[in-house]
Structure 1
Amino acid sequence: MKERVALLKFTGYKIINNISDTGKAFLIILITDIFLGYHSESGWHTVCELIVEHYGLEVDQATITIFICLVPVMMDACVKLWLFKFLPKLSPKVSNIFQEMKRH
C-alpha cells in the first residue's frame, strides 16, 4: 500500500511540475471557482443531501442552507488569502500573472 501511495505522489508531483506557472494559476482559479463559486450553490446542496442521506440522517433544509451560506464563503476567503498572500512568495511568476489579471 505504501508503494502505491508513493507512486501516486510521484506521478502527481511530476504532472504538476510539468505544467507552466500560467497553467497552475489557471487550474487553481478553475478549481476554486468550481467548488467555491457562487454559481455552485445547488451543487453544494445536492452533495450535502447525499452525505446526510448516506448516513441515514433526516435531511434538515435549514441546517443545510446555513452550512452552504457559511462554509463555502469561509473556504473561499481562506483560498483567496493563500492565493494573494502566500502563493506569490513561493513563485514570483505567479505574482506577475496576478498583476496582469488586475489590469484586465
Structure 2
Amino acid sequence: MIYTVNNELRTTILDDGTAEEKLAEILILMNDKTFGQREAASIVGGRGRLYRLIEAGKIRTDKPTNKQNGKWFCNASDVLRHAVVIYRKPRKIKRNEKANNKRATA
C-alpha cells in the first residue's frame, strides 16, 4: 500500500501496535517541528554532543538570520532520534559549618 505523509511516499504501514510503530509515528509527526538550541542540547545530552551531531549532518538546523545571536532551529525529529537519558546523582548540598554553629548557639 502506498500513501503520503509530509509529502513523502511511504510504502509500508506499521499497524501492529508495537513500540516501534509508535516511535515511527512520533518521528513522522515531529518532522516539521523545531526545537531551540538549548532545548535540543538538553535532549541529546549536552551542547558539545549537539554540535558534533550537527557537524556530522545527523541533525538538520536552520538559522534564518545571519546574526551572531540569531536563534537556531533544530529539526525535532532528528533531535528525538538521537535523544539520550542521563542519570545523575543529586548534588550534595554544601553547608557552611560556621553559620550552622552560630544558629545552634543562638
> What band does the TM-score fall into relative to the shorter chain?
0.3 to 0.5
Q: Which has the larger radius of gyration?
A: 2
Query: Which structure carries more strand by proportion?
Result: 2
TM-score normalized with structure 2 length: 0.32
Compare relative contact order (CA 8 Å, sep 6+) and give the higher one, 1 or 2: 1
